[in-house]
A and B are shown apart, each in its own frame.
Chain A
Amino acid sequence: MTQPLLQIRNLSVALPKGADRPFAVHDVSLEVRPAEILCVVGESGSGKSVLTAALMGAAPKGLRVAAGGALMGGRDLLTLSERQWRDIRGKDIGMIFQEPMASLNPALTVARQIEEVFELHSDYSRAERAARARKLVEEMHLPEPDRILKSFPHQLSGGQCQRVVIAMALAMNPKLLIADEPTTALDVTTQAQVLKLIRELRDNHGHGIIFITHDLGVVADIADRIAVMRRGEVVEVGSAKQVLTSPQHDYTRALIAAVPSLVPHDRPSAGTEAPALEVTGLNHCYGVKQVLHDIALSVAPGRVLSIVGESGSGKSTIAKNLIRLTDPTSGTISVAGQAMLDLKGGALRRMRRRIQMIFQDPFGSLNPRRKVGPMIARAAMLSGASRTEAVTRTKELLELVGLQSSAYDRRPAAFSGGQRQRIGIARALAMRPDVLIADESVSALDVSVQAQVLDLLADLQKRLSLAVVFITHDLRVAAQISDEIVVMSQGHVVERGPASQVLTRPQHPYTRDLIEAAPGRGAF
């Protein structure tokens, strides 16, 4: 067995006084060997990012390493001075981050940023630095290396930026790579390519890689070994196969169970009911750029239609058109047989209650200054309820979405992300809508919370016989909740059909690519 590259021993990082727990990271012991990818997986607040920051000697302000060590090449990293660190960073340890665009200096060209690593850690000549930078860019499979090198970061796509960041991290061929959620900000197809690249690095260069992620699908695709973290502690560690197929710890089992399956449930096929929402010939232009092309949709009461697509596919523009935040260039939208787009003023305001939306960001969608109860009650009153009816309805709804009645008098700040999303659902339902739009409504949530909110939505939708348009980038989520799926790419609907058909027998090459790219396809 090869010698470990890095040995973390009983590492603890203390949180400042007054935090919800004494340690951000508590008594963590882990090892990374050469040519191995160690995935550290956990939900938000698990301490996984603090762990990596501490390993780079860059713990956030207010946090300090309280105990333990991290041995690499006979040295304890945690005892190094800032001066000593500077020799190690970039040379022995490379780092890749979550936000590729933001990780690059907007005022410097790609070439200068890559070459800087050589300036810092080598005595290569100028020409040699340039040649090596070019070679790195080629190795990252970036198209037109010369153009990329001359570009500023904002001229590149997110995926290209991430490859540049990886190139910088690899410039000095460090033994250890630390990647903190490196693909989270990327589209699935780009993510799949970057993951492939990282696997290549392990196989061809023998890097030891610590890969931090919240996404078990990604873990299944890339991990050799897995460490599961929860509230600052490693609850389980083992080989990928062992952890994924026979998890020992309850938390690991719960995490794995919460990952939505790509296999859709059996659903009854569409009835002959009149659609609650019908969209025909929807076109939308921003200036000269057309972002929606001839979109047609129809959802019957009690059915869920998912719109699936990557960023820039136009799916969010459809949502904005449906709730009339922006008007489409042409097309029709009708709710329960009533044409929406001709309505104006008071008539429009009265119709609005019939089509309600649950937003993506649980923190931005509730007015921080208003108490939850009156906020929901106001929605009920706008739909025509009297004051006393509205209060009763609000209390029923709070119970329905699984919140305590004490929530009535609290402000949004008192609630977690998942709870806020429940409040958002209650507010939308208070208007007794016919159609509910959910725009990436569970994507900001941790996987266990996500599963709960999805269950809640599915349950309510059936009980209240709502027509739901569910917009998501996540095929797994779509598979769990949809009756029908519409796949969008660059403003066009490329495929549509019952969920089981689209996911198991995709017709369009783009759909196939998407399914192919879904992380952890073999495992879950």
Chain B
Amino acid sequence: MKTLFPYLTKPLVLVGGVLALGWLLVAILAPLIAPYDPLQTLQPLTKPMTVGAKGEFFLFGTDMLGRDIFSRLVWGARTVVIYSTLATLTAYAFGLILGLVAGYAGGRTDAVLSFLANVVLSFPVLVLYIVIIVVIGASPVNIVIAVTFSSAPAIFRIVRGITIDIASRDFVKAAITQGESTWRILLVDILPNTTGPLSVDFCLRLGYTAITIGTLGFLGLGLPPPTPDWGGMVNEGRSMAIAFPHLVIFPCIAISSLTLGLSLLADGLREVNDAKERQA
């Protein structure tokens, strides 16, 4: 409680936390919250807040295939939460390990790894995705692979920088002069000291990944239909958005609120970290 307290005193962090955790809850409880099957055809193109022919209530209306948009949004939360988290975690697994190694080892290992990271980073993210998706196709696993491939170098760069900074501190030198093994120095002396800045980056990156998955969906290169996916919903509804704006507005609000929540949370974390650092 004591460690949580400084986070809760900032209203924006509170907003961010409510948004992000809210969506997490929606994702977990999707079967309980969603009134209808997200794939079931009910009644095409009803406006929001209308009652259907069989007495159904469509809070956000239905799409052209007659699927309940509210239910699709709720299940879409599960899609985005699962795949963003999964993709971010795998990207972190690679970026963290390679970043620690490159930052600590330095020299040729670092030069080679850094060069390769820069090669990947010199692709505009979306171009990279498009190439990857064209080659391996758009399936859930491939989306995770594509995100991992493009995010890991950025994480690598951050971790490497932090590692170099921490490795130059005297307590790491002390551990070396004690004859401590390299892997233990990495795990005990360096890794725990990276958690502050990395927690901020993790939050932000979760948001980026959600944006990316949404954008791929919007471009029709994302999860194959009929998976409920916010970006995909915008893509499908786009051609009829003039007459039926609810097709696109609600999924856009959904994804924006999630990514905004994560950003605000990251901001709050950063402030608290900075304050801690100033104290120490």
Interface residues, chain A, CB within 8 Å of chain B? 323-325, 348-353, 355-357, 359-361, 363-370, 378-379, 382, 413, 424, 427, 431
Contacts and interface: CB of A to CB of B under 8 A. Distances in A.
Closest 5 CB pairs of A and B: A349-B179, A365-B170, A352-B179, A359-B170, A369-B192
Interface in B145-198: 169-171, 173-181, 188-189, 192-193
B193 A349 contact: no
A379 B178 contact: yes
Given A369-B193, A378-B180, A427-B174, 7 more contacts: A350-B179, A357-B177, A365-B173, A365-B174, A366-B171, A367-B189, A367-B193
29 contacts: A323-B173, A325-B177, A349-B179, A352-B178, A353-B178, A356-B177, A356-B178, A357-B173, A357-B174, A357-B177, A359-B174, A360-B170, A361-B170, A364-B171, A365-B169, A367-B171, A367-B188, A367-B189, A367-B192, A368-B280, A369-B193, A370-B188, A378-B178, A378-B180, A413-B279, A413-B280, A424-B174, A427-B178, A431-B178
A325 B173 contact: yes
Nearest to A413: B280
Nearest to B182: A349
A364 to B, nearest CB: 5
A140 B193 CA distance: 46
User: What band does the interface of chain B fall in when counting residues whose beta carbon is under 8 Å from A?
Assistant: 10 to 19
Contacts of A353: 178-179
Given A349-B179, A382-B180, A363 B280 contact: yes
B178 A382 contact: yes
Contacts of B169: 364-365
Most buried by A among B171, B175, B193: B171
Contacts of B180: 349, 378, 382
A323 B177 contact: yes
A368 B166 CA distance: 11
A363 B279 CA distance: 11
A349 B182 CA distance: 11
A432 to B, nearest CB: 12
Contacts of B179: 348-353, 382
Nearest to A361: B170
A227 B114 CA distance: 56
Contacts of B188: 367, 370
A361 B174 CA distance: 12
Nearest to A360: B170
Contacts of A367: 171, 175, 188-189, 192-193
A376 to B, nearest CB: 10
A356 B279 CA distance: 29
Nearest to B169: A364
Contacts of A357: 173-174, 177
Contact of A365 (B171, B176, B178, B181): B171
Nearest to A411: B280
Contacts of A366: 171
B268 to A, nearest CB: 21
A368 B179 CA distance: 20
Nearest to B191: A369
Interface string B243-263: 000000000000000000000
A365 B178 CA distance: 13
Nearest to A352: B179
Interface in B98-127: none
Contacts of A355: 177
Contacts of A427: 174, 178
A322 to B, nearest CB: 10
A349 B173 contact: no
Contacts of B170: 359-361, 364-365
Interface in B194-226: none
A353 B280 CA distance: 29
A412 to B, nearest CB: 8
Contacts of B192: 367, 369
Contacts of A363: 280
A167 to B, nearest CB: 34
Contact of B176 (A325, A360, A431): A325
Contacts of B176: 323, 325, 352
Nearest to A437: B177
Most buried by A among B174, B181, B279: B174
A365 B168 CA distance: 10
B86 to A, nearest CB: 29
A350 B181 CA distance: 11
A352 B174 contact: no
A352 B177 contact: yes
Contacts of A365: 169-171, 173-174
A355 B176 CA distance: 12
A87 B178 CA distance: 58
A158 B188 CA distance: 38
B176 to A, nearest CB: 7
Contacts of A350: 179
B178 A368 contact: no
Contacts of B171: 364-367
Contacts of A424: 174
Most buried by A among B169, B176, B179, B189: B179
A368 B169 CA distance: 11
Nearest to A320: B173
A62 to B, nearest CB: 12
Nearest to A348: B179
Contacts of A431: 178
Contacts of A370: 188
B160 to A, nearest CB: 20
A368 B193 contact: yes
A366 B188 CA distance: 12
Nearest to B174: A365
Most buried by A among B169, B178, B279: B178
A17 B280 CA distance: 19
Given A359-B173, A370-B188, A349 B280 contact: no
Nearest to B195: A369
A25 B192 CA distance: 39
A443 to B, nearest CB: 14
Interface in B47-65: none
Contacts of B177: 323-325, 352, 355-357
Nearest to A380: B178
A152 B192 CA distance: 41
Most buried by A among B169, B177, B181, B193: B177
A382 B134 CA distance: 54
Contacts of B175: 367
A367 B174 CA distance: 10
Nearest to B192: A369
A414 to B, nearest CB: 11
A363 B278 CA distance: 12
B205 to A, nearest CB: 23
A66 B186 CA distance: 50
Nearest to B193: A369
Interface in B23-52: none
B179 to A, nearest CB: 4
A431 B173 CA distance: 15
Contacts of A359: 170, 173-174
A97 B169 CA distance: 27
A443 B44 CA distance: 78
